[in-house]
A = this chain, B = another copy of it.
Amino acid sequence: MYGRRQERAQFFRHHGFRCTLPREVILDILYKTKSHLSAEDIYFKVHPIYPQIGLTTVYRTLDLLNKMELISRFDFGDGKARYELIKEGDTSHHHHLVCRKCNRVIDYTDFMKEETRFIKKIEEVLSKKHNFEIDSHKIHFQGLCSKCKSEGR
């Protein structure tokens, strides 16, 4: 889906959208870069190669990709939204440690099996109880990263 241009084009059109250069480029950046990019991060990566692509379009494209569930949007509390590609096959799902001092974000995948099982059970009960259609969840731990800890809060 991410690798081949043809596939991406198909995917956009399948959702009723056009496959445009900005959309391809931005999706590419997300594909190649680890994670937790803000709109501005992406803009600055795109700009040297495609200076005609504007920040506005980055915002719009991120919204679109998020709605198409190709990316996840996170609000870690530093005032800017961050985005991460959802890889195929659900192998990429994970949770986060967030440093409340320097805002560093650490991915972790430990316990995913157990978390998944646990989450599934909770979802089942809560969605019935509150008649709420659950489609995703977020778990994160907050505290001090090793660097900030050693620097003394």
Contact = CB atoms under 8 A, between A and B. Distances in A.
Interface string A132-146: 111111111111111
Contact of A143 (B108, B115, B118, B134): B134
A90 interface: no
Interface residues of A, number: 40
Which residue of A73, A129, A133, A140 has the most chain B CB atoms within 10 A of its CB atom? A133
A153 to B, nearest CB: 9
A69 to B, nearest CB: 11
Nearest to A150: B131
B146 A97 contact: no
Interface string A96-116: 010110000010101100110
Contacts of A1: none
A144 B132 contact: yes
Nearest to A67: B100
Interface of A: 73, 75-77, 81, 97, 99-100, 106, 108, 110-111, 114-115, 118, 121-123, 125-127, 129-146, 149
8 contacts: A108-B130, A110-B122, A111-B121, A127-B143, A130-B146, A132-B146, A137-B140, A139-B139
